[in-house]
Amino acid sequence: MASLTIRKLDETVKAYLRLRSAGHGRSVEEEVRVILGELIQGRAEFPAALPQAAPLVAARPLRAPDRPGAAVQARVTLIIGGGIAAYKALDLIRRLKERHIQVRCVLTKAAQQFVTPLTASALSNERCYTDLFDPESEFDAGHIRLARDCDLIVVAPATADLMAKMAQGHADDLASAILLAANRPMLLAPAMNPLMWNNAATRRNVAQLARDGISMIGPNAGEMAEANEAGIGRMAEPLEIAAAAERILRPPQPRPLAGKRVLITAGPTHEPIDPVRYIANRSSGKQGYAIAAAAQAAGADVTLISGPVELDDPAGVSVTRVESARDMLQRVEAALPVDIAIFAAAVADWRVANEGEQKLKKTSAGMPPLQLVENPDVLATVSKLRDKRPPLVIGFAAETEHLIDNAKAKLARKGCDWIVANDVSPATGVMGGDRNTVHLLRRAGADIDVDSWPVMTKEQVAAELITRVAKAVGGSS
Ligand SMILES: Cc1cc2nc3c(=O)[nH]c(=O)nc-3n(C[C@H](O)[C@H](O)[C@H](O)COP(=O)(O)O)c2cc1C
């Protein structure tokens, strides 16, 4: 495949591309991809006259999330300096990406002694930049674009040398030129030997950078890479840096559930047949985990009781992992009282009556008979509690037919307040998938209100549900 060098395009075309890409908050390269896509699909719109001159970049306000818990699409230019801690910057790329932050890396010459541009670009899924005078760069003033086509510049590790250059305003390589040309917030994660950190020159530079309004995280106290040395100088951990970056990037969210205790169940249950076999269902736990994350983002104190799933614990949520329906009920009861209980787990209705103590063997007598008995009903049990019944109990109804009718019947039968009904027929791809089409059924006196939502991601469903929960329990959203 041939590649296109934007730098070699006609000046007027470049000016148009710069203006259009800045307006859309994209890089010039991304903008060209969008234009080509539109052209092929016959949707392209071009201006009557191309602009004669255009500003190199326009200020790009960070897009705010439109609902609690929703991710902001933020971009970070990550400058990796030449210190031992450069290897931790590779983990930082992953930690930022986990938070839905796009990362574009710049490596100093010294940094390349510790980590390779190839690794940084593979982890970030973006080209990695190293040279101020780069004939291959798709940007004709790469340092300006890298400085401004982002929402935050993170320097990790920030070496003594890079901080000295910043404090003095040097711009003799790509990293320092970006830092001098930047009009975005900057976050430094210094890392160096304690003697370097305590040196009078570094102290002056750190003080100057603080006066210049530059944020810092760390360094932490601890052991150094050098044998037998300890003190202040270790780079902050990637998780700490990512959290600090997120605090700068994302404005404080409303916390309508602050002070509320929320209990959530998620995932399937596994009902043992013998020590190695079990009965299960196809629930992935994604919807319940998304609800837990959204409730946590809304300020709630969240306990998640999870069946066996392949998901990471949502940040800031207290997670208890269980196997069977009986374990789940026991943990749920132990977690009470709470203000709100949301039962999103797909609890198995039945279990095997006589669980084998040893692995069942094939015999000439044929298949062993599996007798099933009913499991405890977690939703109904909690809904019917006298003393510890949560003020708001929400169940889920996963149905494959007569969705609304079955959900209405379930609402009455279980005694909960709301039911979230979803169609889990194989054709919908809901079980294990990332999207969900739900109907929220709420008691309204003797009637039941049915609110049908369009197809959404499970995160969006979670955010919508938590917004309604906050309104119902008197929180402001
Ligand atoms: C093995 C080794 C480890 C180093 N570790 C650090 C460090 O942790 N912090 C630091 O400020 N400098 C450290 N240096 C010195 C920097 O690499 C040196 O000052 C370099 O010029 C920094 O370049 P940069 O700021 O452009 O990345 C180290 C040097 C070597 C050889």
122, containing H or E segment: helix 117-124
Residue 66 is assigned to a structural domain of this protein: no
Atom of ligand 1 nearest to the CA of 173: 26
Question: Are 245 and 267 in a shared domain?
Answer: no
Residue 403 is assigned to a structural domain of this protein: yes
Using the mean position of ligand 1's atoms as its centre, give its distance from the Cα of residue 458 in Å.
45
Q: Which two tokens stand for residue 393?
A: 């109990």
Question: Are 283 and 424 in a shared domain?
Answer: yes
Q: Which of 193, 226, 249 is the last residue of a domain?
A: 249
Question: Are 180 and 329 in a shared domain?
Answer: no
Angle of helix 160-168 versus helix 174-181 axis, rounded to 10: 40
Atom of ligand 1 nearest to the CA of 162: 25
Question: CB–CB of 207/222 below 8 Å?
Answer: no
Low-confidence ranges of the chain (pLDDT < 70): 1-2, 11-12, 15, 18-26, 42-72, 135-142, 227, 251, 475-477
Residue 364 is assigned to a structural domain of this protein: no
Residue 280 is assigned to a structural domain of this protein: yes
Using the mean position of ligand 1's atoms as its centre, give its distance from the Cα of residue 195 in Å.
13
Residue 269 is assigned to a structural domain of this protein: yes
Residue that has been written with the tokens 């404005």 in this structure = 251
The pLDDT tens digits for 95-137 are 999 988 999 999 999 999 999 999 999 999 999 999 888 766 6
Q: In degrees rounded to 5, what are phi and psi of residue 285?
A: 85, -5
Question: Are 446 and 340 in a shared domain?
Answer: yes
Q: Give nearest CA residue, ligand 1 atom 31.
A: 83
Distance linking the first and last C-alpha atoms of the chain = 50
Atom of ligand 1 nearest to the CA of 85: 8
E runs forming strands in 235-289: 261-266, 271-272, 278-279
Mutation choice for ligand 1 from 78, 87, 161, 198, CB with most ligand atoms inside 8 A: 161
Residue 95 is assigned to a structural domain of this protein: yes
Instruction: Give 106's strand partners.
Output: 79, 129
pLDDT at 417: 96
Residue 41 is assigned to a structural domain of this protein: yes
Q: How far apart are CA 169 and CA 185, in angstroms?
A: 16
Could you tell me if the CB of 249 is within 6 A of ligand 1? no
* C-alpha to C-alpha distances, 414 to 37, 107, 314, 407, nearest whole angstrom: 51, 59, 28, 10
421, containing H or E segment: strand 418-423
Total domain count, the chain: 3
pLDDT at 102: 94
Residue 477 is assigned to a structural domain of this protein: no
Domain that holds residue 456: 261-352+371-472
Question: CB–CB of 172/235 below 8 Å?
Answer: no
Single out the catalytic residue among 199, 205, 228, 281.
281
Residue 422 falls in the annotated catalytic set: no
Question: Are 127 and 243 in a shared domain?
Answer: yes
463, containing H or E segment: helix 458-472
Read off the pTM: 0.54
Helix/strand/coil for 264: strand
pLDDT at 30: 79
pLDDT at 141: 62
Could you tell me if the CB of 422 is within 6 A of ligand 1? no
